[in-house]
Each structure stands twice: as structure tokens, then as C-alpha cells.
Amino acid sequence: MADVLTVKLGDRGYPIVFGEDVGREVQARIAQLGRAGKRIAVITDEHVAAKQGAALKAMFGDAPTWTAVPGEQTKTLAELGRILEFLAGEAFGRSDALFAVGGGVIGDLGGFAAASYLRGIDYYQIPTTLLAMVDSSVGGKTGVNLAAGKNLAGAFHQPRGVFVSTSLLKTLPAREFAAGAAEVIKTGLLGDAALFAQLEADPLKPGDPRLPEIIKRCCAIKAGIVESDERELAKEGGRALLNLGHTFGHAIEQATGYSAYLHGEAVAIGLVAAARLSLELDLISADDAARVAAAVKAHGLPVKLKAKLPLPQLMEATARDKKVRAGQRRFVVLQAVGAAAVRAEVDPARVEAGFRAIGAA
């Protein structure tokens, strides 16, 4: 039987439906939309279409479908334009709904397309990766990358529902699973010390019986933060805390052209850099910083760059981060394992120390 967690945002609130296979719940929602005279379309990628073709057919039948090339390099304005033209070509109306079936790239693209088309249509998220299940499918952040940086074009547009079938993880490659684990580690570090300790003692693995509970736990933590700061406007803490490790990670992705690392891998390295910055600011101990690196490594994730990247290029990328306010870089740092904070006016030399700790030169 499916389990439901509600993201409480008033008339923008929505359910997150959890289960081994929630395909029937998806079909029930589609039937409901059909009775209301609403059409549906689907956006997915080639990997999902190949591995989950039967599931897609069972849920969506012959619904119009846009199939994108997998990978972060697809998350562009050009691809967004193609999806919008696809919807227009299908004569999609304002009352119709888009289903985004895939990982974070598809969720971000589909959500931004839904936010943009006819100035906003409904959409639903069906995450197929661990990273999307625990993080990107929840919260309504949508967007694409620009040459200047990660997620610099986008919109806040909440889905009308999220459907999490943990059975979809059975076909997820090991590298993609590990990338998702980085976001689970991040969640423990920023707000759940017991979860982090659990991951330290027994790292997550594909097929892990704890996955349903941990996925819901991560979604509940994120939902609580989003409910209190939906548009990331809080002066202290708030939704920005969810970017722990991401300022460093996004800089790595931008500097490597979004091709050398999966997003979760860049975040993993970013968590190590953020822990080093926290140590430089005397907020945590060397032992705590070592715990972060050890947990990342235990999940099969990188703790250092594969090849050295120029420090000036990485520092320049942080200046274009979305958390910059009034020209000031802001970094999410650890005050303790399980507690994070946002810091502005950080000495650049300390940020550079964080980058050097992961192999920048």
C-alpha cells in the first residue's frame, strides 16, 4: 500500500506518494485528469525509455512523449525550446498536464517547461534515480544551465504531485546510485545527525532494505525546509541550507563543462570542500571533517578531483552562484555534524583552502 507525505504549501501543496511500485496511483491520477477533460504529455530520456519501456506504456499508453538525450549537457535553453515547441505542436492547452519521468535533469527540464509554457501548466514528477527521489523532485526548483553557471535560468514551480516507485532503482547503474547517496549524506549533515551516523556505520547499497525509509526521511526533511522558505528568501538558514556542498560542486561542474562528473559526484567532492571550509572557520573539528570525507568515500564517491582544476576559474565560478547576494559570496557551512548555517563575507583564502583540499591548483 502506498504511503503519502504532503508538502504543505497552501493551494500549491501536493502529495509525495511512496511505494515499491506506485504505477497504479499514477494511472489513477491520469484517469482523474482524463475525466476532467485534461490531456497529458510525457518527458523522459533515452535511458529510462529503454529500461522502463513497459512501465511507461502501462502508465501513459500512447500519450505524446518527448525523449531527451540523457545527461547534464541536455539541460540547456536549446533543449527547453525544443520541449516547448513539442508541447505547442501537440496543441497542449493551459489545463493540460506534463509528466516528467527521469532523474534530476528531466525533472528540472520538465518543470521549467511546465512553468514556461502558456505561462504555467501543471506537471507531475516521477523520479527514477535515487538523487531525484531524495532531492530534486521535491520543492519546485526548476531550471537549466547557462555557459556562465549551473541552474542560472529557471523558475519556482511546484509540481502537483510526486510519485516515488523504489522498484525503479533496481535498474539504476551503480555509479548513478552512488551519486544519489551524496544527497542522502548531505541531508544527514545539514539536519539529521542520526541519519549521518547510520550512513557512517552501514553505507547505503543498491537493494538496501532501508531505502524506502531513508528516501521518505530525506523528503520529509526537505519538505519541512521548503515549507518554511519556499523561494529561498530567508536571511538566515532556510532553503539555502539544502545547498550544502553545492557551491563547490557547481563550480566543479561548470569548470569541467558538465561532462567529467555526475551531479552527485560533484556534490560529494563539494561536501568534502565545505567540511574543510568549516574547519578553516573553526566551526567543526578535524575529526568531524575527516568523518565527512570517510562517509563520502565509503559510498564509492570521489573525495578529490580526478584532475587538477585552476583555482582562479573555480573561485570565479563561485562568484556566479545563485546564493550570491549584494555581490557577496555565501557558503553553506557545518556548525556540527547534523547542523548547517549560511555564512557570508567568508575570507577568500579560506575558500581557496577548501578547493585546495580537494586537489585544485
Out of 29, 75, 186, 250, pick the active-site residue.
250
Q: How confident is the model at residue 323 (pLDDT cuts 50, 70, 90)?
A: low
**Cα 231 to Cα 218: distance, rounded to the nearest angstrom:** 19
263-287: average pLDDT:
98
| 21 pLDDT higher than 90 | yes
**Cα 32 to Cα 145: distance, rounded to the nearest angstrom:** 34
Of the chain, the percentage scoring pLDDT greater than 90 comes to 93
Q: How confident is the model at residue 328 (pLDDT cuts 50, 70, 90)?
A: confident
| 321 pLDDT higher than 90 | no
Out of 232, 253, 265, 280, pick the active-site residue.
232
| 143 pLDDT higher than 60 | yes
Per-residue pLDDT, 269: 98
316 is catalytic: no
Q: How confident is the model at residue 2 (pLDDT cuts 50, 70, 90)?
A: confident
Out of 222, 291, 323, 329, pick the active-site residue.
222
250 is catalytic: yes
183 is catalytic: yes
Query: Which pTM does this prediction carry?
Result: 0.95
51 is catalytic: no
8-26: average pLDDT:
97
Residue type (1 letter), 85: E
Contact 2, 18 (CB under 8 A): yes
Contact 277, 353 (CB under 8 A): yes
302-307: average pLDDT:
97
**Cα 349 to Cα 168: distance, rounded to the nearest angstrom:** 44
Q: How confident is the model at residue 237 (pLDDT cuts 50, 70, 90)?
A: confident
| 247 pLDDT higher than 70 | yes
Per-residue pLDDT, 59: 97
Q: How confident is the model at residue 168 (pLDDT cuts 50, 70, 90)?
A: very high
| 146 pLDDT higher than 60 | yes
Out of 246, 299, 322, 330, pick the active-site residue.
246
Per-residue pLDDT, 324: 64
| Sequence-ordered list of residues with C-beta below 8 angstroms from that of 90, at least 6 positions apart, any chain | 39, 41, 64
Could you tell me where the DSSP H helices lie in the chain?
Answer: 23-35, 46-51, 53-60, 77-89, 104-116, 130-131, 174-191, 193-201, 211-228, 246-255, 263-280, 286-298, 311-318, 348-357
Per-residue pLDDT, 20: 95
227 is catalytic: no
39 is catalytic: no
Q: How confident is the model at residue 329 (pLDDT cuts 50, 70, 90)?
A: confident
93-120: average pLDDT:
98
40-69: average pLDDT:
97
Out of 217, 263, 329, 330, pick the active-site residue.
263
Per-residue pLDDT, 236: 82
Higher pLDDT, 76 or 321: 76
Per-residue pLDDT, 325: 63
**How many C-alpha atoms does 133 have within 13 Å on its Cβ side?**
28
| Sequence-ordered list of residues with C-beta below 8 angstroms from that of 342, at least 6 positions apart, any chain | 236, 237, 238, 240, 241, 323, 330, 331, 332, 333
| 326 pLDDT higher than 60 | no
96-109: average pLDDT:
98
| 97 pLDDT higher than 70 | yes
Q: Which cell goes with 102?
A: 527521469
pLDDT (tens digit per residue) in 176-220: 999 999 999 999 999 999 999 999 999 999 999 999 999 999 999
72-91: average pLDDT:
97
Out of 47, 141, 217, 330, pick the active-site residue.
141
232 is catalytic: yes
pLDDT (tens digit per residue) in 33-47: 999 999 999 999 999
Burial label for 83, CB within 10 Å (0-12, 13-18, 19+), is buried
| 322 pLDDT higher than 90 | no
